[in-house]
Structure 1
Amino acid sequence: MGNDVSVSASEFAFNDMQTHKFGSYSIEYSTFHVTEANHKFVKSSHINSSLTCFIYKSNEEAIANECLRNALVLKSVRHPSIVKFLDSIQQSWLTGIVTELVSPLEDYLPDLYPDEAVQGVHSICSALAFLHATAQLSHNNVCQRSLFCTSQGQWKLGGFELCRPFGQMSADVLKTVRTRLGDCAIDRDEAYVFSADRRDSFDLYCLGRTALDICDAIDAVRCSKLPDPQPQPQQQRRRQHLDQLRNLAKNCLCSASPTERTPAKRLQRHVAFSANCFTQLSGFLADFSLKSEDELRQFYVALKSRLFELPEGLVA
């Protein structure tokens, strides 16, 4: 499993190791610089690059190994909004995976614009749509601690250590997930109601709760800052986008009934996303090479006026 070439901990120059503690396991993660000494675990083309290492720990070795086994699904799951897997490591002192360079979303929340939050949640929704409709997988750990950002600000879904194929999902699996997460688990019983017809429902509920937490965090930061210098209509538009995201989370995702939660693939077209200028622009640019000359011409004609709808700091 992974690279079996022995390497010592001293060969990894981990930077500012952070820890997320859950009920029966913890994850330590940090960036590290790939050198001639430690590149045994990644392709030589990554030498002189910075990557991220996620280390799984538990008082029970079997649980740490299970986390790694589940996370290895990233080897075959590739999507623009899912953290990119590079390699796995299993040594006496380290059990984990190496990925592209990412940082926890929590580090960005204090400076996040509402438009970025809407676009970010849309990206995670896109990742879940792929997992559910194409890969037939349940993530089982959608929360702020599983969300990461690239240096370009793109949101990515990580935290796959509890991931299971749809065919393995059951009421007992959801009970195990709740135990594994401990105090970090959602504290609402309706989240853990299993539906054989809607095996995506747990992830959707978790996405809704996560979106609500992000909205609350942005509101808390905004209340602590000086008044927004933007013109009043633009402030109202920002407020409206955040309210639409909050309503989406409450009404489409956090229903007590699993069958009433909107599937991620359909959720991507919700007005909370389609009416957001930043999400529209980001989506167009993501498919830029596929656009026709007429679509490009219309895009450039409307670009200036649409940019004025966004906060100056976000455009910069």
Structure 2
Amino acid sequence: MMGNEGSQLSGLEIEEKATDISDFWTHYQATIKDSCRYFSLKGDGSVSVFKGQAVPGPLWTITSPLEKFSNNLLKYRHPCIIRYISAWQQRSTLHLATEYVQPLSHILNSQTPLQLCIGLNNILRALVFLHEQAGMSHNNVSISAIYVTGDGQWKLGGLEYLCAFTELTPGYLKQARIHRYDKAVDPNEESYDNVSKVDQYGFAVLVEDAFKGHKDDEVPYLREFKTYCRDMLQHTNPVKRPKLSEVLQHNFFNHEFITIYKFLNFLPLKSEEERCDFFTNILDTLKCYDEETVAKQLGGLLLSRLTMLDQTARKDVIPFILKPKNERSQNAEHSGFFSISVYKEHVKPRLMQLFAVRDTQIRMLLLTHFSKFVHMFSHEELSQHILPELLLGIKDTDDNLVASTLICLSELVPILGADTVIGGKRSKLFTDGRPNPKSNLVLSSNVPKEENGFLATKSLRDFHCSEDSYEQNEVDNSSFDKNLLNERPSPVGGESVEEKYIITTETKRNNTGESEEDWSDWDNSNNQTSTAPVLPFLQSLEKEEVIAVEPIEINNTPHSVSNLKEQSDKKTALLQKAAIQAKKNMVDISELDIKNQKVDSSKKNGDEFDFFADMKPVIEKPAVVTLAQVDSDFSSKLNFVPNEGVEENDGWGESWND
């Protein structure tokens, strides 16, 4: 459960459960919404918030401990000191917001010896900065004053006891004695005239506490360094205690792993030749160390802006860091450096931060290797963090950047779907034009054929039909495969055929020059029974020669090929006879004119069926009205009165003579 504290930080939400409670403040974790993702490794805007109230004491008569801590963080900035973000007062409670950190005491037992070595190196660098650059003494070097960031880096805190060396007196230390770490306080501290070396004593105690429970051979020169701390840093005479900058020269802080860490930290100070030498051999060197320690301590430095901009690193280091190790890969040369579990925990959060960097070279490097690590992200991470950054990249003026971004977006389509990547409404604009192998009739060479090459064994039901079939007395031509009817039937006489047959192969044409293009298209779109296209050989028997017919069943009666051929010959003879008879009866072409055709009234009510019987209009006889007598001498067509004796069917003829 979180609550908005009404702070100066917009969108700050603080957790209700405290992370740590000390004498001076309560430590909470918080989140800044819509932040620049700069304050935490996870890229989720996590920060730390310290809440404190005024504490009575001689050291804080004017300011509270948290207020002094906040002021010192604001004033003394160093990479190894906790980063200050903001501070504000709410009623009587002071709030201090810093980068995301957690107390070292919470995770000390999970730290590896190499991590402890690097952490102590960071604290020592911070103390050297305070002593030599700022002229300040920390006065409370201990585990309680150290915090760890999200990427495992140790940061110095506890600056509430900080004071200048000119103000550091035995009286000041006596006033602060009640809240300082007892073990880190020199028992003879009050008797010394020179108290400027209290931090050396405290650092020696810190080394002892950090490596408690570890063997002396786990880190190079650890045994020697422990002896050095006990004999030199905790010397009974404070004057003989060395400067902290001299402690940095000890072999414990200069073995191979620490040297790599320091080189990456001070990369801008190195020459081009030194960088080239370093990045050429660094991966072979790091393979000798624990993988998780390398990822946690050096992962951020290996993927820093300065490293990614170096030409040698871009060629020899970055491709292997960005690619996770495939355990099944046989070719170790092209394998990644970190295993998948370590990659997801330590490298992936860095990549999410790098995608927010507005640097062309860094973005192009990420896009180049995008396919190697895209599968490491979850769907939510890709859609909420990576995709918005990629969509921003396609609006850039750099054509190369836009082209590479579009390629990476195509990698996201199979993972997130086109709706997520492209957005907007989509519709089916393209269809699959490949032929359906189930609907194509494949003629196998093993199927027996007639001498003329036509199939004679398959029945109608053996062929695939894409439309519904109808059980009717007559075969519906809509269920035929168009590939089986190579020639469109003739329209002449096709309507009078009652029995249906299927020609299964091509028919030979006579040299008449006629083709199927001469016939108009006949449609049968409603799946109704049609007799026209079923028997092509009956409509064009004078032009085509029937080669073979498959045996089929008509009206559930089996017919052999010979029966079909016999019936076909009979119908052919009948049609030919009818055509000759019609030709003989036709004397003149003018008889085809409907005006000259003679109607045989004897057949009108006999064999011929009158299709228009129901459509004949009924004309009622007009009523006869008696008119006044008109002069008989006056005669005109306009006063014509029909004779009642004239038959009803007689007309006026085609012309008037009056």
- Structure 1 CA distance, aligned partners of 2:143 and 2:30? 23
Q: Is the 8 A contact 1:114 1:242 kept in 2?
A: no
Q: Is 1:208–2:204 an aligned residue pair? A: yes
Aligned match of 1:232: none
The farther-off stretch of 257-266 and 237-246 is 237-246
Q: Is 1:293–2:272 an aligned residue pair? A: yes
Given candidates 209, 228, 249, the residue that maps to 1:269 is 249
Q: What is the SS of the residue equivalent to 1:180?
A: coil
Cα 1:202–1:211 change in 2 (3 A) is same
Aligned match of 2:240: 260
Q: Which 5+ residue runs of structure 2 have no aligned equivalent?
A: 296-658
More strand by share: 1
Q: Is 1:303–2:282 an aligned residue pair? A: yes
Q: Is the 8 A contact 2:221 2:251 kept in 1?
A: no
Aligned match of 2:142: 143
Please give the per-residue CA displacement for 1:3-39, whole angstroms capped at 9, x wherever unaligned: xx9659xx74226413343xxx333112111248xx9
Given candidates 36, 46, 49, the residue that maps to 1:50 is 46
Q: Is the 8 A contact 2:232 2:240 kept in 1?
A: yes
Q: Is the 8 A contact 2:204 2:233 kept in 1?
A: yes
Aligned match of 2:20: 19
Aligned match of 2:257: 278
State the AA in 2 paired with 1:94.
T
Given candidates 200, 221, 226, the residue that maps to 1:246 is 226
Alignment map for 1:219-230 (pairs within 5 Å): 219=214
Q: Is the 8 A contact 1:118 1:241 kept in 2?
A: no
Please give the per-residue CA displacement for 1:115-168, whole angstroms capped at 9, x wherever unaligned: 111111111110000000010111111110111111111111011111111111
By how many angstroms is 1:91 displaced?
Answer: 2.6
Q: Is the 8 A contact 1:138 1:166 kept in 2?
A: yes
Give the alignment's Cα RMSD to 1 decimal: 3.1
% identical aligned pairs = 23
Alignment map for 1:94-105 (pairs within 5 Å): 94-105=93-104
More helix by share: 1
Alignment map for 1:108-257 (pairs within 5 Å): 108-181=107-180, 184=182, 186=184, 188-196=186-194, 199=196, 201-216=197-212, 218-219=213-214, 238-257=218-237
Cα 1:64–1:107 change in 2 (3 A) is farther
Please give the per-residue CA displacement for 1:215-257, whole angstroms capped at 9, x wherever unaligned: 11x52xx8xxxxxxxxxxxxx8525443234223212311122
Query: Aligned residues, how many?
Result: 282
Cα 1:163–1:110 change in 2 (3 A) is same
- Structure 2 CA distance, aligned partners of 1:254 and 1:260? 9
The farther-off stretch of 27-36 and 205-214 is 27-36
- Structure 1 CA distance, aligned partners of 2:294 and 2:173? 42
Q: What is the SS of the residue equivalent to 2:177?
A: helix
The farther-off stretch of 73-82 and 86-95 is 86-95
Q: What is the SS of the residue equivalent to 1:205?
A: helix
Aligned match of 1:88: 87
- Structure 2 CA distance, aligned partners of 1:190 and 1:277? 38
- Structure 1 CA distance, aligned partners of 2:47 and 2:166? 33
State the AA in 2 paired with 1:124.
I
Cα 1:45–1:147 change in 2 (3 A) is closer
Cα 1:296–1:96 change in 2 (3 A) is same
Dislocated runs of 4+, deviation >6 Å: 43-48
TM-score (norm 2): 0.39
- Structure 1 CA distance, aligned partners of 2:175 and 2:164? 15
Q: What is the SS of the residue equivalent to 1:55?
A: strand
Please give the per-residue CA displacement for 1:165-186, whole angstroms capped at 9, x wherever unaligned: 11111000110121233x7563
Aligned match of 2:30: 32
Q: Is the 8 A contact 1:137 1:166 kept in 2?
A: yes
By how many angstroms is 1:262 displaced?
Answer: 1.6
Q: Is the 8 A contact 1:146 1:158 kept in 2?
A: yes
Please give the per-residue CA displacement for 1:28-84, whole angstroms capped at 9, x wherever unaligned: 112111248xx9xxx999896221112334653856933134311211211110111
Q: Is the 8 A contact 1:178 1:185 kept in 2?
A: no
- Structure 2 CA distance, aligned partners of 1:180 and 1:315? 37
Aligned match of 1:231: none
- Structure 2 CA distance, aligned partners of 1:255 and 1:53? 38
Q: Is the 8 A contact 1:139 1:163 kept in 2?
A: yes
State the AA in 2 paired with 1:253.
L
- Structure 2 CA distance, aligned partners of 1:126 and 1:138? 13
Cα 1:239–1:124 change in 2 (3 A) is closer
- Structure 1 CA distance, aligned partners of 2:37 and 2:249? 41
- Structure 2 CA distance, aligned partners of 1:207 and 1:151? 24
- Structure 2 CA distance, aligned partners of 1:111 and 1:18? 18
Given candidates 62, 68, 71, the residue that maps to 1:70 is 68
Cα 1:44–1:313 change in 2 (3 A) is closer
- Structure 2 CA distance, aligned partners of 1:15 and 1:284? 41
By how many angstroms is 1:294 displaced?
Answer: 1.4
- Structure 2 CA distance, aligned partners of 1:210 and 1:192? 21
Q: What is the SS of the residue equivalent to 2:178?
A: helix
State the AA in 2 paired with 1:291.
K
Q: Is the 8 A contact 1:74 1:84 kept in 2?
A: yes
- Structure 1 CA distance, aligned partners of 2:64 and 2:55? 13
Q: What is the SS of the residue equivalent to 1:122?
A: helix
- Structure 2 CA distance, aligned partners of 1:171 and 1:31? 37
Q: Which 5+ residue runs of structure 1 have no aligned equivalent?
A: 223-235
- Structure 1 CA distance, aligned partners of 2:209 and 2:294? 25
Q: Is the 8 A contact 2:67 2:94 kept in 1?
A: no
TM-score (norm 1): 0.78
Q: What is the SS of the residue equivalent to 2:218?
A: helix
Aligned match of 1:60: 56
- Structure 2 CA distance, aligned partners of 1:69 and 1:281? 38
Larger Rg: 2
